[in-house]
A and B are shown apart, each in its own frame.
Chain A
Amino acid sequence: MINYILRRTVLLLFVMFSLTVLAFSLAYLFPGDPLVNLSGYQEITVNQLAFLELKYKIDDGIIRQYLAFLERIFDGDLGISFNSQSAIFEQLSRIFPATMELAIYSLLISTFFGIPLGILAAYYHRKLPDVLIISSTMVGYCLPVFWWALITIMVFSLQLGWFPSSGRIGLVYEVPYETGFLLWDILQADIPYRYEAFINALKHMALPTFVLATYPTTVLIRYTRGSMLNVLETNFIKTAKAKGLSTWQVLFHHGLRNALLPVIRLLGLQFSTLITLAMLTEVIFSWPGIGRWLIDSIYQRDYPAITGGLLAVSTFVILVTITSDVIYKWFNPISRTHVDD
């Protein structure tokens, strides 16, 4: 296991190295002066210029510049945004929880529905419930998320008026920023109208969470079903059945535990897809998360912001993947002995 973790760490370091090299080279790939693209200062005065040149080691070799870039990343300095002229790192750390909140709740919802439905489908293999569940997952799987989001807005927000169409919370509520996880912040905050604000935030959350949960739910159903069917074919289950246990007993006592392990791994892998889909969802629901921020930066050709945003998102995705991989191996020693691919 230690060996495995060690290898994954080396890999992580290697990938992080490549990512930072890529992010650094973006400053040169984007149009304009690399110093401007790195620092985000568009109109540099003479005094500033000397200071910035020194800080960014722009007159030194590329290697030196890259090392200075790395150093700044560790200091949490990603330059400032062209657009807002404020520090990118701080902006990122403020909006990241919004995306996380959306993604985590969606993942919870999809787990809540996906796994039981998957088991149900496996139990009724090739019978009507299975066919129904599987065909609806096929539909959910093929929906373009941006279109699906628009349709839900049209129906639930505009036609029925059940939920608001955009944002995280009604703007009249002033919730002090603590963790960035809004629901938690509201519960912690000492503000008037707290309960009202909480309900309001939940209502805002409903549609985006639902839309975002659609895809992972379908994947989870299909995967749980497949995994369950595989386990049910194995010999120890057949033995258990032969011993006279009921199908449900077999399913829960023997099947579930073994079928869920790969599902847990899938959850980790799904997280990266979820983040991407969250970016689209955020754009449509004006959810103030990293996706909307990054897409806006692309529209505005805000190069330092694009660089910072890409670095943050991809680092996060890779960290989650590797972590979930390691956790999976931890709980499932058998897989460690296999060739890991």
Chain B
Amino acid sequence: MIDYNDYQDDKNHSPSRQLWLLFNESHPARIGLWLCISLLLLSILAPLISPYSPYEFDGSALLMPPAWADEGNVDYMLGTDDLGRDILSRLMNGASLTFGLSIVSILIALFFGLILGSLAGLSKGVKSSMFNHVLDLALTMPSLLTAIIIVAVLGPGISNMIWAIMLSSLPQFVHAIRNAVHDELQKEYVIAYRLDGANMTQVLTHAILPNIFEQIIVVATMAISNAILDIAALGFLRLGAQAPSPEWGAMVAESLDQLYSAPWTIALPGVLIFLSVLSINLVGDGLANALKRRLER
């Protein structure tokens, strides 16, 4: 357990430990983290723990309201949709698509962002300046617009959507990492390391990356929250995940015809999208605040 009173010890902790303590002080951040972890667990375990298959029809239970409503049934906690599929199971399985896929695609984009960003940060001169300008403009294109463009060219579908999400989030990583690397290069410890005879790869992997890692995580959380919204929006527009996929945005789109007779089929997936974006943003904000305050100390 963390002992808040033992303030003296606090200063002696390692930087990452300090960060964790500062992060933990904020209630919203902690809630966000718990939410995030549960969603992550859900994305992995959903097929094992969901009561039904997300695709299984039950002709005898169409458009059942959630269990707490008068006509509800405990067999279907959150009710069923117009094909008699269990909404709870669909929502659980949707987590791995909307939430899980956004994290996976951002991690992949982050990997390529690291490579490109480091290269850009280390290079100098006209080439670098031109690259920076183009990057700036690529950044001004909203990620959803870029994603829609990419899907328009490649055609709708879940794999094309992942490509679109990755490509559209790449510029911000390259930008952030390039700037961070650039700043770090000017710092004395790096210069000292270089004077010791370390080559560029060593400087990058041993000195710079460990130090900018935390900043990058903050950027990545923002990117994930954007990616969730984009995946859901593409699903809703039927440009991403296609029916009968339980992707949350696609679920909203599929339920549009039941706007009046079964509003819960629209409300519930939306609430989950909102919660997942919220959780990621709370974690990201908490992390950014903690970083700032550690610096102030």
0/1 interface trace, chain B 192-232, chain A, CB 8 Å (1 if under): 00000000000000000000000000000000010001001
The segment from B102-110, B157-165, B269-277 that touches chain A is: B269-277
Shortest CB-to-CB span from B246 to chain A, Å, is: 16
User: How distant is the Cα of A295 from the Cα of B149 in the complex, in angstroms?
Assistant: 10
Query: Which interface class (under 10, 10 to 19, 20 to 34, 35 or more) fits A?
Result: 35 or more
Say how far B24's CB is from chain A's closest CB, in angstroms.
19
CB interface residues, B 124-150, toward A, < 8 Å: 132-134, 136-137, 140-142, 144-145, 148-149
Chain B residues positioned under 8 Å from A298 (CB to CB): 148, 151-152, 156, 239
| A309 to B: closest C-beta gap in Å | 9
Is there contact, CB below 8 Å, between A142 and B145? no
Task: Assess the A14–B134 pair: CB atoms within 8 A.
Answer: yes
Binds A, one of B3-11, B43-51, B88-96, B258-266: B258-266
Digit string of A273-316 for contact with B (CB within 8 Å is 1, else 0)? 10111011001000000000011001100000010001001100
Q: Which of B232-257 contact A (CB under 8 A)?
A: 232-233, 236-239, 249, 252, 256
On chain A, the residues within 8 Å of B136 by CB distance are 341
Interface size class of B (residues with CB under 8 A): 35 or more
Q: Of the candidates A15, A30, A275, which one forms a contact with B137 in the assembled complex, judged by CB atoms under 8 Å apart?
A: A15
Q: Is B18 an interface residue (CB 8 A)?
A: no
Interface string of B35-62 (1 = CB under 8 A from A): 0000000000000000000000000000
Known contacts A144-B249, A321-B140; decide if A275 and B145 are in contact (CB<8 Å). Answer: yes
Instruction: Give the distance in Å from the alpha carbon of A277 to the alpha carbon of B237 in the complex.
Output: 12
A39 touches B (CB below 8 Å): no
**Does B26 sit at the interface, judged by CB under 8 A?**
no
A295 to B137, CA, bound (A): 24
Whether the Cβ atoms of A147 and B141 lie closer than 8 Å is no
Provide the A1-29 mask, 1 if CB < 8 A to any CB of B, else 0. Answer: 00000010001001100000000001001
Interface residues, chain A, with chain B CB atoms under 8 Å away: 7, 11, 14-15, 26, 29-30, 135, 138-139, 141-147, 150-151, 153-154, 158, 269, 272-273, 275-277, 279-280, 283, 294-295, 298-299, 306, 310, 313-314, 317-318, 321-322, 341
User: Which positions in B face A, CB cutoff 8 Å?
Assistant: 28, 132-134, 136-137, 140-142, 144-145, 148-149, 151-153, 156, 179, 225, 229, 232-233, 236-239, 249, 252, 256, 259-260, 263, 266-267, 269-270, 273-274, 277-278, 281-282, 285
Given contacts A154-B259, A298-B148, 4 further A-B contacts (CB under 8 A): A29-B153, A138-B28, A145-B233, A273-B142
Taking CB atoms, residues of chain B closer than 8 Å to A322 are 137
Residue of A nearest to B175 (CB): A341
Chain B interface, DSSP helix/strand/loop, else mixed = helix
Partner of A147, one of B148, B151, B153, B273: B273
Task: Give Cα distance in the complex from A299 to B281, angstroms.
Answer: 32
Q: A144-B249, A144-B270, A150-B259 are in contact. Are A11 and B133 (CB under 8 A)?
A: yes
Q: Taking the nearest CB of chain B, how far is it from the CB of A271, in angstroms?
A: 10
Residues of B within 8 A of A135 (CB): 28
Nearest 4 Cβ contacts at the A-B interface: A147-B270, A142-B277, A276-B142, A321-B140
The 8 Å CB contact of A141, one of B141, B148, B273, B281, is: B281
Contacts A/B (CB < 8 Å), 6 sampled: A14-B133, A151-B267, A279-B144, A295-B237, A298-B148, A306-B152
Interface centre among B236, B260, B263 (most CB of A within 10 A): B236
Please report the C-alpha to C-alpha distance between residue A19 and residue B259 in the assembled complex, in whole angstroms.
40
- Which B residues are in CB contact (< 8 Å) with A153? 259
Complex CA–CA separation, A275 to B144 (angstroms): 10
